[in-house]
Structure 1
């Protein structure tokens, strides 16, 4: 019983202690909550106070801004009223000015006796006439400048082409000298009673001239191809030593075949040099024969190759198809290979020959027109004509016989010396320049220009010459004094 009671008391004590602890914790929590509530109330009060302060400041700022805007609005309204007043004044002034302008026009019409429309028409015509004069002056200046620049550009193109392509000239001759291995060979060449030389001339068509010159004979023929075949024949015969009519025929056939091969090779080399791909075989062979022909000391095939280069350079500078122009220039003298057998000019003969062998109409026309026998109508024809003149007329390209050369120089000096006031005349630079010295007391500057023009005109009319001849008239005044 006591034990049970003692156990119950302990439990009661423990329960009491727990309840006391719970109450203590609860009171502590309540105190903390109250403290937190007091702090929250204080923070809220401070926030409310700050918000009220800010709101008061903003209301004050808004009031100030509203006052400024109101003042600005009043000022703008005052300016608008002022502008309206000034606009009304300007409108009135404009109306007054219009009335004054109308009165002025009426006064001018009364003074000039013209209506406004008529005065406007006359003014317009005067302005148009002045504009036309100014336009004409401008156009003339543009044309002069374009011509000057065009001439200068053309000179640069042609000079550059000639400088980049210049070939040597060769001697023009109808005789070929052939050196024999010994003087005894002359007897074998002549043969018994001259049968070998007669057979040689009959087979080759070339005259064989045997004179007293030691170990030397001459082959004479106007056809250089036949002369070359005869030279090869005589070379083979003298090297072998067996010379008789039958042997001459055999060797000549081989020599002709060799010349034909050399002609074809020369034509192919010419095509390669000017960058042309193909050509009809007969046309190619005929072109190659021109390696044995000369004109005024200039090899014809070399002249054609040079002309093709010059024409191609000019075509490239001008934006024209250079291949077609080079082909036209390469074939422009093809007729010289046939002109000794056919009647007519070499230009017409060459054009017909090229037409028969499939050349284009542009090439045929350029060949036919390169000497001005017909009017050139294409750019290719004009460039071919210009390239031919450049190649033939450049310094050192051609040469004349001594007799013709001397006669031309003498005639140049005679033409210049025939004018009054001329004291001395000098033909210079192989006849490409004539320098005329005049007496200054008899010839003034204007007369000097007239003499130069008259001499140039007379030279053009009377003489035939390659390229151009420059006439220079020199009028020199000298004053001499001695210091003693």
Structure 2
């Protein structure tokens, strides 16, 4: 019984707890619902406020844009009005000018009609005058014209001849000036370094102790070196230097390279000397080939015979009047190309002719004869064109030049050889030439003193103004130039300048 009562009590308590819990949940749900409704109302209020603010802002922006558009329209209308006004003014101006031009045309037509009437009257008057003159003179117009022209021609014959001579002189001067411009342009566009002529080579030594090792026991090393290279070794008191003497520069270069190899190797004996000489000769052969190929490439030549390339490279070790022959040949090729371009001749053929023109100097110490003839025979044997062969053979007039290329070569060769610094002369001969220049000028009557300047390229002559007037000075300059041409040998040309100065001095006291 008690247990049943307890069970009822527990059930009642559970039911009461459930009812209380349910009520609490319902109260919480109602509170949450009220909070949600409050939040929703607040959000709606905020949305309405935001929408009203956006709407107000949009209206303000629309009003601003409309105001700007209206302002722009007003500006455009004002601009259009100004343009229309300008156009109207321009039309008015053009209309006024058209009216003025029409008036001028009318006046011109009226003036032309008056001139035609005047010309007709003049022609009629001229006819009457001519008829009257024919009646008085007893000659017709053709007869009178012939007689007058005959008299005028007789009186002006000397003047006509003088004008013809002046025209011929002017043409010659213009031709000479054009030729000088061509040559000067070619010379100015190309410059090259020049090498001095020498028959000895000085080899520096790391120390004087090597001189004894070069000589060797009882001179066997120096004898082996001289026999292998064909060069004389001069070992004297010159500090740290050995002199190689020989006519052939290729042999001297082989000897120089051999000595340098021996110095770096440190072993100096006859067998080693022969081995190093062989290596040096191989290196020289490669150097000669490279130099020849470089010269051909510079001149734009392809497919040149290997033997001709070798001979061309050998010119690197040849000298002529102090000028390196390969450098001279390359320079002459460049100058010939420029001259040919100026006169409309083939540049490639001109460069080929000039590059090979001294190739005979590579073998002239082995073959007897002029280097021009030797070079032409080599070129003919190796299949070069006949124009090239003729130009090379004729560049020292061993054969008559027969082509434009030959004369281009003569010009370029003279430029390269004769310009200042290209070829060296000894100091003594240089001084003698300058003294002789001054002596020739001083020999003329009326000369006060003279000065050779510009390395002998110009002679300036001061004359006494009391004895020499302007006409005599002109003749004297020509006579001095002719005498210099007849008595002196010189590269290029010598400018003769005769200066006549009169000074009048007075003192204010």
Find the aligned partners of 2:236 and 2:446 in 1 and give their Cα distance: 55
Post-superposition CA distance 1:400-451 (Å, at most 9, x none): 1212212211221222222222221211111111111122222222332333
Find the aligned partners of 1:125 and 1:420 in 2 and give their Cα distance: 48
Q: What is the 5 A alignment of 1:38-117? A: 108=138
Give the CA RMSD over aligned residues: 3.2
Report the CA distance between 1:324 and its aligned residue.
0.3
Report the CA distance between 1:461 and its aligned residue.
2.2
Question: TM-score normalised to the size of structure 2?
Answer: 0.68
Q: Which residue of 2 aligns with 1:391?
A: 416
Q: Which residue of 2 aligns with 1:78?
A: none
Q: Which residue of 1 aligns with 2:438?
A: 413
Q: What is the 5 A alignment of 1:183-222? A: 183-222=208-247
Q: Which residue of 2 aligns with 1:401?
A: 426
Structure 1 residues 151 and 187, CA gap change in structure 2 (3 angstroms): same
Report the CA distance between 1:116 and its aligned residue.
12
- Establish whether residue 447 from structure 1 lines up as the match of residue 472 from structure 2: yes
Q: Which residue of 2 aligns with 1:12?
A: none
- Establish whether residue 302 from structure 1 lines up as the match of residue 327 from structure 2: yes
Q: What is the 5 A alignment of 1:454-473? A: 454-473=479-498
Structure with higher Rg: it is 1
Find the aligned partners of 1:138 and 1:462 in 2 and give their Cα distance: 35
- Establish whether residue 372 from structure 1 lines up as the match of residue 397 from structure 2: yes
- Does structure 2 conserve the Cα–Cα contact (< 8 Å) formed by 1:168 and 1:396? no
Post-superposition CA distance 1:174-205 (Å, at most 9, x none): 11110112211101111111121122112211
Find the aligned partners of 2:153 and 2:495 in 1 and give their Cα distance: 46
Report the CA distance between 1:312 and its aligned residue.
0.6
Structure 1 residues 262 and 480, CA gap change in structure 2 (3 angstroms): same
Q: Which residue of 2 aligns with 1:362?
A: 387
Q: What is the 5 A alignment of 1:223-234? A: 223-234=248-259
Find the aligned partners of 1:139 and 1:359 in 2 and give their Cα distance: 47
Find the aligned partners of 1:138 and 1:422 in 2 and give their Cα distance: 34
Task: Give the secondary structure class of the aligned counterpart of 2:455.
Answer: coil
Find the aligned partners of 1:244 and 1:463 in 2 and give their Cα distance: 55
Q: What is the 5 A alignment of 1:214-293? A: 214-293=239-318
In the comparison of the two structures, how many residue pairs are matched? 383
- Does structure 2 conserve the Cα–Cα contact (< 8 Å) formed by 1:335 and 1:353? yes
Q: Which residue of 2 aligns with 1:64?
A: none
Structure 1 residues 148 and 449, CA gap change in structure 2 (3 angstroms): closer
Select the residue among 470, 477, 483 that pairs with 2:502: 477
- Establish whether residue 167 from structure 1 lines up as the match of residue 192 from structure 2: yes
Select the residue among 176, 182, 186 that pairs with 2:207: 182
Find the aligned partners of 2:193 and 2:209 in 1 and give their Cα distance: 37
- Establish whether residue 327 from structure 1 lines up as the match of residue 352 from structure 2: yes
Report the CA distance between 1:367 and its aligned residue.
1.0
Report the CA distance between 1:247 and its aligned residue.
2.1
Q: Which residue of 1 aligns with 2:406?
A: 381
Report the CA distance between 1:135 and its aligned residue.
9.1
Task: Give the secondary structure class of the aligned counterpart of 2:202.
Answer: strand
Structure 1 residues 138 and 470, CA gap change in structure 2 (3 angstroms): closer
Structure 1: gaps of 5 or more residues: 1-96, 110-114
Report the CA distance between 1:228 and its aligned residue.
0.8
- Does structure 2 conserve the Cα–Cα contact (< 8 Å) formed by 1:286 and 1:334? yes
